[in-house]
Amino acid sequence: MEERKVLYSAIQPTNNLTIGNLIGAIKNWTNLQNDYDCFFAIANMHAITVRQVPADLRQKTLSMLALYLACGIDPEKCTMYVQSHVPAHAELCWVLNSFTYVGEMERMTQFKDKSARHAENINMGLMDYPVLMAADILLYQTDVVPVGLDQRQHVEIARDIAQRFNNIYTPTFKIPEALYMKVGAKINDLLDPSKKMSKSAENPNGSIFLSDDRDTIIRKFKRAVTDSGSEVKFDPENKAGVSNLLTIYSVFTGKTIAEAEADFAGKGYGDFKLAVGEAVADKLAPIQKEQEKLLADKSYLEGVLRSGAERAAHTANKTLAKVYKKIGFYQL
């Protein structure tokens, strides 16, 4: 039987995830786990490059795991773990720092963006973020990393660092490939449809968070931007708000855009926005209920994390030992 390719992905346990994260990442993961040997991390080490409230970070870590599970990610099929539970991430990051150039880090888009947003806290962790991400990926001899276009730079720098190390020594790391998911649905902000829906948007009313209750979801959709017309028609250029809502309705009902348009032929925007809100709330309700149930069973969640950390460490430590040998570290 052919050995399955290794896939690595991670999400920070900060801010609430949005329906965009659900569609763009987590739902894809539930499909990918059947085809790849998957490592899914909760990236709490990346999270502290921006100040966190310690108790919140701990709680959000468990909430993130419960959400993964509630969405159908199976701990029997893939390895789910917390990044800081596998010390090899930090250890390999330190080694890779010696194979990464300052100029490369200064050019990273995310460093520039986050430095602008957090001018009072431009720390080394913020600059070193891509090297830690490279360590995350390379530790598991990863074949593919599912990414959006905005994350492409991080996979490219991981490839550059791996190739540099391999050229100086002998082939040690697999060179990872970016796996660009089919653009199913790009979910945009409800109040500014020209922007992607974001978990860190300045105005939370433009985003639907996976933790929003039914009333909040419907209230936000009722306030969503449309246009001065009255026709529910998919036309991203001239009717960005309506097109965004049609996309969301299509994703959450399983209907095509044409079927969605037909559902609202002759109906006003008020009815349309209410129907979109209800479709989203209906789909999120069982996920939220399952997440709540899982959070009530802390020992089960900790068991999943313990088992995941052991499996992840087993693979990660093999790579780290190989790296330490190549660079000349004396090992006992």
Angle (deg, nearest 10), helices 124-139 and 88-97: 110
Q: How confident is the model at residue 124 (pLDDT cuts 50, 70, 90)?
A: confident
pLDDT top residue among 17 and 63? 63
Q: What is the pLDDT of residue 203?
A: 87
Number of C-beta neighbours around residue 268 at 10 A: 12
Q: Looking at the DSSP assignment, which residues form a beta bridge with residue 38?
A: 7
pLDDT of residue 108: 77
- Spatial distance between the Cα atoms of 221 and 213, rounded to a whole number of angstroms: 13
What gap in Å lies between CA 221 and CA 274, rounded to an integer?
A: 7
Q: Which residues of 202-240 are buried (b: 16+ CB within 10 A; e: fewer)?
A: eebebbbbbebeeebbbebbeebbbeeeeebebeeeebb
Answer whether residue 17 shows pLDDT above 90: no
Dist. CA 151–CA 162, nearest whole Å: 17
Tell me: the pLDDT tens digits for 202-222? 788 999 999 999 999 999 999
pLDDT tens digits, 226-282: 988 889 999 988 899 999 999 999 999 989 999 999 999 989 999 999 999 999 999
Q: Which of 77, 174, 196, 318 is catalytic?
A: 196
pLDDT band at 16 (very low <50, low <70, confident <90, very high): confident
Distances (CA, A) of 8 to 16, 146, 175, 216: 22, 8, 13, 34
Contact 236, 193 (CB under 8 A): no
Dist CA 34 CA 151 (whole Å):
23
Check: CB of residue 172 under 8 Å from CB of residue 326: yes
Of residues 12 and 25, the one with the higher pLDDT is 12
**Is residue 239 among the annotated active site residues?**
no
- Domains, the chain, ordered by start: 6-180+298-327 (3.40.50.620), 204-292 (1.10.240.10)
Mean pLDDT check: name the lowest of 35-44, 149-158, 251-260. Answer: 149-158
| The pLDDT of residue 184 is above 70 | no
Exactly one of 199, 233, 255, 322 is catalytic; name it: 199
Q: What Rg do the C-alpha atoms of the chain give, in angstroms?
A: 21
- Average pLDDT over every residue of 158-171: 96
pLDDT score of 109 more than 80: no
- Average confidence (pLDDT) over 164-168: 97
Catalytic residue flag (residue 289): no
267 is catalytic: no
Q: Residue 320: its pLDDT value, please?
A: 98
Catalytic choice (27, 114, 220, 273): 114
* Closest by CA position to 6, among listed 136, 195, 172: 136
Rounded to 5 degrees, what angle do the CA atoms 23, 275, 63 make? 40
Between the alpha carbon of residue 292 and those of residues 67, 147, 307, the distances in Å are 9, 28, 22
* Model pTM score: 0.88
Rounded Cα distance, 74 and 130, in Å:
28
Q: Cα 235 to the chain's mean position, in Å? A: 28
Among 117-126, 185-194, 285-294, name the one with the lowest average pLDDT: 117-126
